[in-house]
Structure 1
Amino acid sequence: MTEPVIELRGVSRRYDGGPPALHEASLTVRRGEAVAILGPSGSGKSTLLNLIAGLDRPDTGTVTVDGVRVDRLDEAGSARYRRSKIGMVFQFFNLLDDLTVSDNVTLPARLAGTPRGEADRRAAELLGLLGIDRHARAYPGRLSGGERQRVAVARALMNRPPLLLADEPTGALDTAAGQDVSALLTDLNAEGQTIVVVTHDLALARSCTHRTIRIADGRVTEEDAGRPRSAAPRTVASEGFASEAVR
């Protein structure tokens, strides 16, 4: 059995004296898994994602990601952790409109102190492998939603993180573009990338993850509802792109 990338043990989080956003949540995600977090609005999905990403701290319990006790990090340590351990993809892309596609993708590497030439080479590699290299000098506003999400995925993979977090990655896309992004996540996972997807879309969860983590009223339950682990990857850009992207 592969080692865990994410371990949450007895995690609770409450805001401003209200009911718990999370209540004694425990969760393990092993290296190479693709897991979906499902639940209605207000169920605790975003809180769970923020705790894994080091954007929030639990009131009780422990959060460990790739051997790092995330709940113990100070602000500077959390920033370093996110640069080295986490790639994040968001519903509305969070690209910077005044930067080119290439500059958006290289931004995490530049923040991590990677030399410009090395960062540019990595960005060119990722954009080529994801089939959007022709847009390298374009600005995000000129791209379709599906293309912008590919740029966001390239940016998330820039520093070769052990964990990719995707927060409603198809929520702002039409059906065709959403299926394209689902296939992209499937390919990345098939080549070894550990992925956690937060979504309300059961079809997305079943198509690109191995199992689902359901949350209701801050409590975590688990159910096998995804694709088989032996499912073959669906090529989106070019054959074998995913193995190159995650290296």
Structure 2
Amino acid sequence: MTEQGRREGVVVRLGDLRGEPGRQGEVVVRLDGVRKEFGETAALDGVSLEIRAGEAVAVMGPSGCGKSTLLNMVAGLDRPSAGLVEVNGEDLGRLTETGLALYRRRRIGMVFQFFNLIDDLPALDNVALAAQLTGSSAAQARRRALELLDELGIADRRAVYPAALSGGERQRVAVARALMNRPALLLADEPTGALDSRAGEQVMDLLIDLNQIGQTLLMVTHDQRLATRCASRLIELADGKVARESALERP
């Protein structure tokens, strides 16, 4: 099979696993005047931006510029000191902690820099659990989980516990878990940061394939190659502010 044919096959299979994306061009994420203070330090200082359905947006900038804080706001893991954070028309600031937990479980997928896997579950169950928590049967969840692990090249590690996986393998399990509930919005914090070159290429290919079938992506990264290959737009932060936005053309 040619590389193009292989990639097209991946798109078809992943298309069966994802949910309904927002209408192309519809605003999925809106931040308006968002400020986040930690003591006397402003991690975000008046950030305003929009992300539309079908976009793949990369956020870059030096350490301490507010990248991860911005991602945490959109994930509902932190609340702004001022301003509006809105996802799919819903003001996250108005949700209770329970409401935010349900939002994270049902509406978004998240890939963390440090994996956040459950040590007592093997790889397959770590992935499948995300769907079981939203009501999928164990058999259905495990079937989807195995397909995703296969796409990421680690189906043969499905029975292995996180402690026995390499860092790259753990991150690939985390990517599969983030995709389990077919999120309309996928958030990724340094998704290739712990991967070797080959595994990183696999994850980049997966992100590109997902975006091609309409998956909206928001990625925080230090990796210029990830941004260039996977994103259609780049947002650069400096000192908690949006310093520059630019359109990207994938190679």
Give the match's secondary structure for 2:191: coil
Letter in 2 for 1:173: L
Q: 1:130 to 1:179 in 2, by over 3 A?
A: closer
Give the match's secondary structure for 1:35: strand
Distance in 1 between residues matched to 2:163 and 2:248, nearest whole Å: 34
Per-residue CA deviation, residues 69-112 of structure 1 (Å, 9 max, x unaligned), is 11211100000000111111122222223211111001222322
Aligned to 1:8: 31
State the shift of 1:144 in Å: 3.8
Distance in 2 between residues matched to 1:183 and 1:122, nearest whole Å: 19
Deviates more, 1:216-225 or 1:49-58: 216-225
Distance in 1 between residues matched to 2:143 and 2:240, nearest whole Å: 43
Deviates more, 1:99-108 or 1:88-97: 88-97
Aligned to 1:205: 227
Percent identity over paired residues = 58
Distance in 2 between residues matched to 1:47 and 1:123, nearest whole Å: 29
Letter in 1 for 2:72: N
Give the match's secondary structure for 1:184: helix
Distance in 2 between residues matched to 1:131 and 1:176, nearest whole Å: 10
Distance in 2 between residues matched to 1:83 and 1:9, nearest whole Å: 24
Aligned residues: 228
Give the match's secondary structure for 1:224: strand
Q: In the alignment, is residue 84 of structure 1 matched against residue 106 of structure 2? A: yes
Report the aligned-residue RMSD.
Answer: 1.8
Aligned to 2:189: 167
Give the match's secondary structure for 2:80: coil
Deviates more, 1:101-110 or 1:143-152: 143-152
| TM-score in terms of structure 2 length | 0.84
Give the match's secondary structure for 1:204: helix
State the shift of 1:184 in Å: 2.0
Aligned to 2:240: 218
Letter in 1 for 2:67: K
**Following superposition of structure 1 onto structure 2, how do residues 102-113 of structure 1 map, counting pairs within 5 Å?**
102-113=124-135
State the shift of 1:34 in Å: 0.6
State the shift of 1:121 in Å: 2.8
Aligned to 1:235: none
Letter in 2 for 1:178: G
| TM-score in terms of structure 1 length | 0.85
Among 56, 65, 73, which residue is 2:78 paired with?
Answer: 56
Give the match's secondary structure for 1:134: helix
Aligned to 2:161: 139
Tell whether the 8 Å contact from 1:66 to 1:162 is kept in structure 2 after alignment. no
Tell whether the 8 Å contact from 2:152 to 2:203 is kept in structure 1 after alignment. no
Tell whether the 8 Å contact from 1:52 to 1:63 is kept in structure 2 after alignment. yes
Aligned to 2:11: none
Give the match's secondary structure for 1:52: helix
Give the match's secondary structure for 2:32: strand
Distance in 2 between residues matched to 1:225 and 1:146, nearest whole Å: 30
Structure 1, unpaired ranges of 5+: 232-247
Deviates more, 1:50-59 or 1:129-138: 129-138
Letter in 2 for 1:3: E
Distance in 2 between residues matched to 1:173 and 1:136, nearest whole Å: 18
State the shift of 1:164 in Å: 0.6
State the shift of 1:225 in Å: 5.3
Per-residue CA deviation, residues 21-54 of structure 1 (Å, 9 max, x unaligned), is 1111111111111111111111111110110000
